[in-house]
A and B are shown apart, each in its own frame.
Chain A
Amino acid sequence: PLSKNPPEQHFQLSPAVRIAPTNPASFWLSAGEIVVTEVNFVRKCVGPNSSPDDLWGKLVCTNFKISFVTHVVYDLLPLQKFQYTNRLLGEHDIPLAGVEQVVTVNEAKGKQKVLGSNQKLKFSPTELMVYCKDFRMVRFRFDEAGPDSTKKVCLAIAHYSQPADAQLLFGFEYTGKCFHSDRANGLDPGSSLQTALFDCSSDWDREIKRTGASDWRVCSVNEGYAVSPSLPEFFVVPASLADQDLKQFSVSFAGKRIPMWCWNHSNGSALVRMASIRDPLQQRNLDRRICSAITKSHPKCSDVLKSDLDRSLPNIQEIQAAFVRLRQICVIEPFEENEERWLSSLESSKWLEYVRAFLKHSVEVVYMLEGQLCSVMLQEEEDRDLACVVSSLVQLMLDPHYRSLGGFQSLVQKEWVMAGHRFLDRCNHLKKNDGEECPLFLLFLDCVWQLMNQYPAAFEFTETYLTVLSDSMWIPVFSTFLFNCPRHCAERSRDFAQSESIKLGENKALRFPCVWYWGHQFSVKDQALFNSPLYVGKSVTCVHNGTVKTFRRTKKSHSATLRGPPSLPNGLTVELDTLTRRNSLALRLKPDPWQPREVPESPAERFSCEWLSRPVDLQGLLLPQLLPSHLQLWRLYFLRWVPEAQISRGGSVMAFHRLSLLADEIETLQNQLRQHRGGTPASTPASTPGTPDQESSRMYFKAGTPDDLPSTPDYLTSSFPFSPVGNLCRRNILGTPFSKFLSGAKIWVSNENLANETL
Chain B
Amino acid sequence: MEKSGSADSLGSKRSSSRQPSVDSLTSTNTTRSDRSAHLRSAVSPDAASARTDLGAEVLKESSRIAEGELQLLPRESVQDTASDVTYICPFLGAIRGSLTVTNYRLFFKCLDKDPAFVLDLPVGVISRVEKIGAISAQGEVSFGLVCKDIRNLRFAHRYQEGSLKKSIFELVNKFAFPVSNALRMFAFEYGQPFPENGWKVYDPLAEYKRQGLPNESWRITKANEHYDVCETYPATLVVPANIPDEELKRVAAFRAKGRIPVLSWIHPETQATVTRCSQPMVGVNGKRSKEDEKHLQAIMDANAQSHKLFIFDARPPVNAAANKMKGGGFESEDAYQNAELVFLDIHNIHVMRESLRKLKEVVYPNIEESHWLSNLESTHWLEHIKLILAGALRIADKVESGKTSVVVHCSDGWDRTAQLSSLAMLMLDGFYRTLRGFQVLVEKEWLSFGHRFQLRIGHGDRNHTDADRSPVFLQFIDCVWQMTRQFPAAFEFNEFFLITILDHLYSCLFGTFLCNSEQQRLEEDLPKRTVSLWSYINSQHEEFTNPLYVDYANHVLYPVVSMRHLELWVGYYIRWNPRMRPQEPLHQHYRELLAKRAELQRKVEELQREVAGRVAVAPPEKAGSPAGSPVQTCV
Contact = CB atoms under 8 A, between A and B. Distances in A.
Contact of A569 (B382, B575, B592): B575
A554 B592 CA distance: 13
B523 interface: no
A340 B345 CA distance: 14
A397 to B, nearest CB: 15
A348 B629 CA distance: 56
A650 B484 CA distance: 10
Interface string B570-581: 100011111111
A329 B588 CA distance: 35
Contacts of B594: 662
Contacts of A554: 44, 46
A594 B94 contact: yes
A542 B120 contact: no
Interface in A321-364: 335, 339-344, 346-348, 352-353
Contact of B593 (A549, A639, A663, A712): A663
B40 A564 contact: yes
A117 interface: no
Contacts of A561: 61
Interface stretch (A43-51, A56-64, A87-95, A608-616): A608-616
B576 A456 contact: no
Most B CB within 10 A of own CB, among A346, A564, A596, A630: A564
Interface stretch (B180-188, B285-293, B369-377, B451-459): B369-377
A718 to B, nearest CB: 8
Contacts of A538: 589, 592-593, 596
Interface string B37-57: 110111111101100000000
A571 interface: yes
Contacts of B33: 567
A650 B486 contact: yes
Contact of A572 (B115, B370, B373, B631): B115
B568 A335 contact: no
Contact of B487 (A454, A650, A663): A650
A668 B631 contact: yes
Interface residues of B, number: 101
B93 interface: yes
Contacts of A564: 37, 40, 61, 63-64
Nearest to B94: A595
Given A457-B584, A654-B487, A658-B590, A647 B559 contact: yes
A629 B583 contact: no
A640 to B, nearest CB: 12
Contacts of B369: 627-628
B92 A572 contact: yes
B374 A627 contact: no
B607 interface: yes
B603 to A, nearest CB: 6
Contact of B372 (A339, A572, A629, A706): A629
Contact of B113 (A593, A658, A710, A712): A593
A551 interface: yes
Contacts, number: 291
B93 A570 contact: no
B168 interface: no
Interface string B101-129: 00000001000011111111000000000
B367 A677 contact: no
Given A454-B584, A562-B49, A651-B486, A569 B577 contact: yes
A759 interface: no
B25 interface: no
Interface stretch (B276-284, B346-354, B410-418, B549-557): B549-557
A562 B40 CA distance: 8
Contacts of B567: 632
Contact of B562 (A335, A348, A655): A335
A676 B611 contact: yes
Interface in A91-142: none
B429 to A, nearest CB: 16
A687 to B, nearest CB: 16
B579 A658 contact: no
Given A558-B45, A647-B486, A594 B113 contact: yes
Interface in A529-555: 533-534, 537-538, 540, 542-543, 549, 551, 554
Contacts of A655: 488-489, 548, 586
B40 A563 contact: yes
Nearest to B118: A571
Given A573-B116, A635-B564, A670-B600, A648 B92 contact: no
Contacts of B192: none
Interface in B1-50: 30-31, 33-34, 37-38, 40-46, 48-49
B445 to A, nearest CB: 23
B386 to A, nearest CB: 8
A572 B117 contact: yes
Most A CB within 10 A of own CB, among B48, B489, B574, B603: B489
Given A343-B563, A554-B44, A644-B560, A594 B373 contact: no
A14 B603 CA distance: 63
A664 to B, nearest CB: 9
A594 B92 contact: yes
Contact of A673 (B45, B377, B382, B603): B603
B371 A347 contact: yes
A244 interface: no
A595 B578 contact: no
B226 interface: no
Interface in B598-635: 599-601, 603-604, 607-608, 611, 629-632
Interface in B407-425: none
B604 A628 contact: no
A38 interface: no
A307 B378 CA distance: 37
Contacts of B49: 562
B552 to A, nearest CB: 7
A670 B116 CA distance: 44
B366 A599 contact: yes
Given A566-B37, A630-B570, A655-B548, A537 B596 contact: yes
Contact of B548 (A346, A613, A658): A658
Contacts of B374: 343-344, 347-348
Contacts of B564: 342, 633, 635, 639, 642, 645
13 contacts: A340-B563, A543-B603, A549-B46, A554-B46, A569-B30, A570-B576, A609-B578, A625-B581, A627-B570, A630-B580, A644-B560, A665-B597, A669-B597
List the 4 closest pairs (A to B, CB-CB), nearest first.
A615-B41, A628-B372, A347-B373, A342-B563
